[in-house]
Structure formats: C-alpha cells, structure tokens
Copies of this chain bind each other. A is one copy, B any other.
Amino acid sequence: MNIASPTSNYFGQPEGILASAAHVANSKQMLALTGIKRKLSKGSTILHEEDDVKHVYEIVSGTVKTSKLLADGRRQVIGFFGAGDIIGLPFEFASFYSVEAVTQTTILCYPISQLHAVMGQSPELTKFVFSCVHNEQEKQIDHMISLGRKRPKERIASFLLDFYNKRVDMGFADQVIELPMSRVDISDYMGLTQETVCRVLSFFKRRAIITSRNSHEITILDLPSLERMAQSSVLH
C-alpha cells in the first residue's frame, strides 16, 4: 500500500498518490484531483482536537503524529504517519484527535468535497480510498492489542518491526530504521513511560538485538530475536 517514491512528479503527471489514483482511473476524462502543497515546520499543529476536518492529508515527506489528550494532561499518541500515508477519513466531521508535525514535513491537502466528486466518477479511486480506511483500521486494532495485552518489551519490539516492515515494503533492504520522534512520543504511543522505553531499548542493545549510532537511528542486528520478542517476552 505504500509506494516507494510518492514525490516523483514528471511532466503531465499529477503529484501525489491520491491524485495519481484518480488520474489513472480517469485517463480519458482527465478528471482533476489536485492537492494543495503545504510545508510544516517541526512541532507545528495541522489540526487541533475538535477542529472541523475539511481535508484529507497525504504525507509527501517527513513524519506526523496524531494524538489525544486527557483532562489532566496525559496523552495518547494514536499513530505516526510517514511518506505515502494518507490521514483522515474521506468525509467531513469534527476531528477526534490533533495532528502535529514531528519533523519538518510536506503534505498535500485534498479538499474532501473535491475528493468526493472525483470518487463519484472513479470506482478505482473509491476502492483505493477504502483500502486506506481498511489499512488504517487494521493498524489501529494491532495497536489496541499492543496496548491491552502486550508487555513493554513486546510492544517496543512490535513498534520497531512496524517501522522495519514498512521500509521493506518500500523496497529498502538495509536493517536501519529511523525514529524521528522523541522517547516521550514513543512512550505516549506505547502506553508506557519514557524511562521504560529507554530501559527496553537499552536491554535490546545489551542483548545485541539492536544497535544505534544516535537516539533517532536504530539498526537491527538480530531480526529473528526481535520477531520472537514481539510475540512473547517470556524468555526475557
């Protein structure tokens, strides 16, 4: 579902995955779906909780996180999104989470009204949008299992594998994963404290399962062990 080079844009070809999906599906009618490009600096908020959602966002480059706050400040990060990911359901509503840029990020904003118009003409685009909704829900359910039933080591191992597998899907063959977000972001995503996240990562390093040049770049040394760790942490 993730496409290797979403930024590729040669003459005559619309920019962005959604636009491309609409373009291919309507090559005869040349029905236009054009996203407005926006550049976001690190930490800036794209959408606050409760804001009216008028656009679907496609990440061109960078990373964003979606999150929700409790009254006393506790935070749950719902998800992280990178290049090629689509954020937002394909209809207007009050957002149930905020969307923030983790790094400097470029996004394409598709007005939902326009998206609907084109979807009405293009079953292929409709299908593609549905597949995004589907992927999104599957990711959310896996995340719920991590939060509800996995131990910290299993959660972090699953988290690292998610990033690794995404890179594999995108055609990269190395064992390096980039974690642009802070330890606090990771802990708020995993339902843990930042200290526990650190300790688990240190544990993986001590066990030579991973190594890291700096805190935002992790190299997997022992993939089978990491995969076992994601399933069960019984053998510590």
Contacts and interface: CB of A to CB of B under 8 A. Distances in A.
Q: How many copies of this kind of chain does the complex include? A: 2
A97 B141 contact: yes
A148 interface: yes
Contact of A137 (B71, B140, B148): B140
Contacts of A141: 68, 78, 96-97, 140
Q: How large is the interface on A (under 10, 10 to 19, 20 to 34, 35 or more residues)?
A: 35 or more
A213 interface: no
B91 A145 contact: no
A137 B134 contact: no
A55 interface: no
Interface of A: 68, 70-72, 74-76, 78, 89-91, 93, 96-97, 127, 130, 133-134, 137-138, 140-141, 143-145, 147-150, 188, 190-191, 231-232, 234
